[in-house]
Amino acid sequence: MESQIKIKGWCKEYPGERPPRFLRAFLLFFIGIEESHGYDLIEKLKNMGIHYENYELGYVYKTL
């Protein structure tokens, strides 16, 4: 019996079913430079050209 559950895509530019592995590296990099929190880190990702839908932002908080 095949599972009918589909996992949402990470973002439109990334075809995978889960967050890309580079997310953790970018977050650690930003935190290493200066103390940052969720929303600030999301803004830094956006400034790098990585944009997510609102429902996808939870991956950032889950990764933290």
Check if the beta carbon of residue 41 is closer than 8 Å to that of residue 60: yes
CA–CA distance, 47 with 34 (Å, rounded to integer): 16
pLDDT of residue 6: 43
pLDDT of residue 19: 62
pTM over 0.85: no
CA dihedral 25, 44, 9, 14 (to 10 degrees): -70
pLDDT by position in tens, the chain (length 64): 444 444 445 555 555 555 667 788 888 999 999 998 888 988 888 888 877 666 577 788 888 8
